[in-house]
Amino acid sequence: MVYYQIDFRGNRLGIGDMSINSQRAIRRLLFIAVCLAAIGAAVSLAAPSASIDPRALASIDSLTNAGAFDSVLAVIPRFLAAAEAKKDSALAAGLLATKGRAEIMTGKFAEGYASLDASIALARSARDTTVWMTALGYKSLAVTWQGRYDECVELNRARLELARLTRNRVSEAWARTGLGYVHLLRGNLDEAKSEYTTAIELFRAEKLRQAELMPLIGLGRVLNMLEDIDSAREAYTRARDLARDIGDRAQETDAINNLGTLEFVYGDMSIAAQYFEQAYQLRLAVGDPQGAITPATNVALARNYLGQYSEAADILNRAAETCREGNFRSLLGSVLVLLGDMRYQQKMFHASDVLYRESLSLGDALLKKDRDEAVIGLAQALTSMDSTQAAAELLSQGLKSPLPASAARMQLLMAQCLRRLGRTHEALGYLLEIERRMAAEEERSRAAATAAELSSCYRELGRSSEALDAFMLAVDRMEGRRRFTQSLVWREASGGTRDLVDASGIVLEHPPETAGPKKVEALFDIFQRLKARTLLDRITEPRRQAEPAPEVADLPIATLPRLQREALEPGDLFLDFVVGYQSCYLFAVTRDSCRVSMLPGLHSDLPERVDLYRRAIGKPPRSSGSSADLNAMELQASLGTAILGNVSDLVTGASRLLIAPDLYFWSLPFGALTVSHKGKPGTALFESKTIHYVPSATVLLWLRAKNRPVDADAQQGAKPRAGVELRQGAVLALVPSRSAKLAGADREVQFLERRYARVSVAEGEAAKAAIDDTVAAFDVVHVASHIEVNNERPWHSGILLGDSTMQGDPYLRAGDITGGRMRATMVVLSGCESALGQLNVGEGVSGLTSAFLSAGVPVTVATLWPVDDRVTADLMKEFYKSLDAGLPAAAALREAQRAIRSRPRTSHPFYWAGFVVVGDGNLGVRLERSGARLINSIWLAGAGVVILAGVVFSLRRKKLQEGESVT
């Protein structure tokens, strides 16, 4: 059996096996086996008798084929009693086989095995080889789900021998299909390929097209694991087309799902998600809620992988309810484990603990693979709740008989637990075993994490050289994993630096003869290899235009020397954050120095403090001197020193801060923080410095190379240096349809139209089209509309421009923006929370700001929280006044913030601190004042009048002279 299921933890193929879909799979497989391979048994079951109505026996088959196994178990005892009374062994054997199948389907494995053994014994005594082989097939499937592979091989070999003796080619084909599946699970791929190929040939010779589907899909899986991807895709496609041709919607669903799995691992993950959705909808369309459960879990896993946790959890909760209503206990176990995994990812550790324990309480009904997954998940939850010893004990039990696909993950988690418990030598043994296993066939999902953990063990044991080698191996593996798919959305979800940060300390320690600054440089360069890679991919990927922009044709990864030499100017301080679980690095880089500061990581109270501060100042003040505001001010001072205190001298001496945040630091308004230096309290950073947010050092290098920066003196309000000109700016204002307009946004646009000469306004659907059609003619795009930020689906974030009451999407989506190429220098997003989105590990923020950046816009002005509509309009006025005075974007924003803060009514940080510049804030645009145009027009008109008067006077004088001569 070959039904796949994605495992978001990232197993070798990210897939499960037949056990995931056991109830649905056995219904299909056994129905085919009964109909095609057990004709004799069917005849004996349907034979008339004095006490058994043939139509009643037929109803059992109907109930079985419909999956109504509880009903089968309710009615079958009286038929068995009648068969025993008649001493009809053949009939009793067939009924016992059906009963055993139903019991296994409802999770009663012990009872099912007893019924099937009784069926085999009766069929053997009655020499009814057809029922005998059928019962062997049922039992072989059941023991496979329990991970009892040796028994499965024995049962299928017995069935194969009977098939050969009776020349039953159909039963031989089913036996070979079962053997192929066991070989596949054990990794004996050549044997599996041979068995599946023979089974396909046998079914084809018998013209059993429907039966051919199962080994065909199994062959596809084998080819997949042999990395013969083209042949695997061909096998799955053949299976899909064949199933569609004969009307087998169940097998068609399987084939589509498997095509999705293939794309998930080796192709485009976004296409994989489409396949999973198609398989899910196909099951729902045929009214098969049970059959829809596994495709539904795949859809949920795909959405979870992309960070769409709410949608994924909703799908799984509905699937769990369906399982409970239908008593599909095996499938319920799978769903509960997956739901527990998602709750764990959301850091809902107690909730995940409950779900894992509920799945384990299902006992024998829980399939072996799901039992392993529940053990792994529960151990992770216990570790996160500081119960490491309990987690180690649980894993010790699980490692006694894990499935091969689960063993490496259990061993990795066990090693992590043992290292935390101080048992590093034991941990090392587990890790080396994983490495040996991966040497033959690398498991990409755990390769980097295993090498990082191995590095930490070597480091603790004083084996520094081996620790450094293992860490660099982890970096190489992480990069390889990130390049593995062509889908940018999926690459963004493929992890970042977090798993490696805690192991990276070895770079600062070894080799001992290397100078400290060189080690810091090496570590900085390593992290740049992992940061913001997919944003660079978005910047450099082919655009809708025929030719890609020349400035992004070759964009090398930043190194410390290149950053200092090519991007930083006098007065610049580049602050680069890299967040790990236990620790966080802050690199403070100037043109001639680089210092590293260690901060607490994710598992500290720092993220909570950042969140508390942001929430405290991200809402209107209650009253002057309120306790909430006082707490916010205390947090403001303590956070600034806690984060930047170790580099306070560099911060104090800088005039510009270029900040590359990571994770929760993106939501922090650095400009509002204060930093004490030498015991002296500081003022808010924005008072004396301009603040720029950038995704990474490499993106900053690209921005600085692409655009000619304004002179440093211009940052302080002076004119640009000679030879550097600000672009003569035209403004495009995008506004929504009248039904969605904001009063403050209207004021912003009216101000722009009155003050500047080259302002165009695009409204509603025309505004959406303007991004594609006319934006190249404008240097500033001002967006005055509602902003919708979608943290789970960041590229679905949008700007409301169309009419929400009309058909179609009224939003301009981030995904549409990032797919184009814009020539504007600046985008101003005055709407709420426009700077936020999905916080990616080492990737910055996926959302509107990164969409404009990837479309080629070098600087964006955006907001960190819902802002006051009227005050925003005032701040925008001040911003544009400073901009047309010659200041670059970051300095202009600082002046606007100063103006708003100076007013008593709006001095609270809520009104001004949430505005940020993302990109190269050194860039500016010179806007042409409408008043200047008027003065020029008046001057020209006056000059024309003077010239005209002179001409008239000259003509009159000439005529007078001519008249005098005649007289």
Please tell me the predicted confidence (pLDDT) of residue 625. 52
What's the pLDDT band for 395 if we cut at 50, 70, 90?
Answer: very high
Please tell me the predicted confidence (pLDDT) of residue 594. 97
Most confident of 4-13, 17-26, 344-353, 617-626: 344-353
Residue 749 and residue 874 in contact, taking contact as beta carbons nearer than 8 Å: no
What's the pLDDT band for 512 if we cut at 50, 70, 90?
Answer: very high
| pLDDT at residue 961 tops 60 | no
Please tell me the predicted confidence (pLDDT) of residue 31. 42
DSSP letters spanning 447-487: HHHHHHHHHHHHHHTT-HHHHHHHHHHHHHHHHHHHTS-S-
| pLDDT at residue 721 tops 80 | no
Please tell me the predicted confidence (pLDDT) of residue 413. 95
DSSP letters spanning 321-375: HHHHHHT-HHHHHHHHHHHHHHHHHTT-HHHHHHHHHHHHTTGGGS-HHHHHHHH
Quick one: tokens of 620? 């209107």
Separation between Cα atoms, residue 412 and residue 453, nearest integer Å: 8
Over residues 150-179, mean pLDDT: 92
Over residues 551-578, mean pLDDT: 87
Report helix, strand and coil shares of the chain as percent, to nearest 5: 65, 10, 25
Residue 446 and residue 434 in contact, taking contact as beta carbons nearer than 8 Å: yes
Of residues 417 and 614, the one with the higher pLDDT is 417
| pLDDT at residue 34 tops 70 | no
Q: pLDDT, tens digit, for every residue of 642-693?
A: 999 999 999 999 999 999 998 889 889 999 999 987 777 778 999 999 999 9
DSSP letters spanning 37-97: I-HHHHHHHH---SSS-HHHHHHHHHHHHTT-HHHHHHHHHHHHHHHHHTT-HHHHHHHHH
Quick one: tokens of 495? 């992890």
Residue in this structure with the two tokens 């216990």, named with its chain if needed: 382
Quick one: tokens of 706? 């692409």
By the 10 Å C-beta count (0-12 exposed, 13-18 middle, 19+ buried), 237 is classed as: middle
Q: Is the pTM of this model over 0.75?
A: no
User: What is the widest separation between alpha-carbon atoms in the chain?
Assistant: 155
| pLDDT at residue 298 tops 90 | no
| pLDDT at residue 206 tops 60 | yes
Q: Which candidate, 437, 441, 367, places its Cα nearest to that of 409?
A: 437
| pLDDT at residue 38 tops 90 | no
Q: pLDDT, tens digit, for every residue of 538-552?
A: 666 644 344 444 444
Separation between Cα atoms, residue 911 and residue 913, nearest integer Å: 6
Of residues 503 and 794, the one with the higher pLDDT is 503
Percent of the chain with pLDDT over 70: 75
| pLDDT at residue 906 tops 60 | yes
| pLDDT at residue 865 tops 50 | yes
Please tell me the predicted confidence (pLDDT) of residue 494. 54
Residue 1 and residue 218 in contact, taking contact as beta carbons nearer than 8 Å: yes
Separation between Cα atoms, residue 143 and residue 507, nearest integer Å: 50
Please tell me the predicted confidence (pLDDT) of residue 535. 66
Please tell me the predicted confidence (pLDDT) of residue 807. 66
Quick one: tokens of 649? 């001298």
Residue in this structure with the two tokens 């059928």, named with its chain if needed: 134
Please tell me the predicted confidence (pLDDT) of residue 442. 46
Conformation bin of residue 802: beta by default, left when phi > 0, alpha when psi is -120 to 50: beta
What's the pLDDT band for 536 if we cut at 50, 70, 90?
Answer: low
109-125 core/surface letters (b: 16 or more CB in 10 A; e: else):
bebbbebbebbbebbbe
In Å, how far are 279, 529, 560, 765 from 525, measured between CA atoms?
Answer: 44, 7, 6, 45
What's the pLDDT band for 109 if we cut at 50, 70, 90?
Answer: confident
* φ, ψ dihedrals at 732, nearest 5°: -115, 120
Q: Which amino acid is residue 329, in one-letter code?
A: R
| pLDDT at residue 90 tops 70 | yes
Over residues 633-643, mean pLDDT: 82
Q: Which candidate, 879, 800, 878, 792, places its Cα nearest to that of 832?
A: 800
Rounded to 5°, angle at Cα 358 from 357 and 360: 65
Please tell me the predicted confidence (pLDDT) of residue 40. 37
Q: pLDDT, tens digit, for every residue of 449-504?
A: 899 999 999 999 999 999 999 999 999 888 776 655 555 555 555 555 677 899 99
Percent of the chain with pLDDT over 90: 36
Q: pLDDT, tens digit, for every residue of 723-767?
A: 233 455 788 888 887 655 666 677 888 899 999 988 888 887 777
Of residues 194 and 635, the one with the higher pLDDT is 194
Please tell me the predicted confidence (pLDDT) of residue 65. 67
Quick one: tokens of 426? 């034991």
| pLDDT at residue 368 tops 60 | yes
Please tell me the predicted confidence (pLDDT) of residue 737. 78
CA atoms within 13 Å, Cβ hemisphere of 109:
21
Local structure of 282: helix, strand or coil: helix
How far is C-alpha 460 from the geometric centre of its chain's CA atoms? 33
Average pLDDT value over all residues in the chain: 79
Return all residues near 150 (Cβ < 8 A) that are at least 6 apart.
Answer: none
Please tell me the predicted confidence (pLDDT) of residue 942. 54
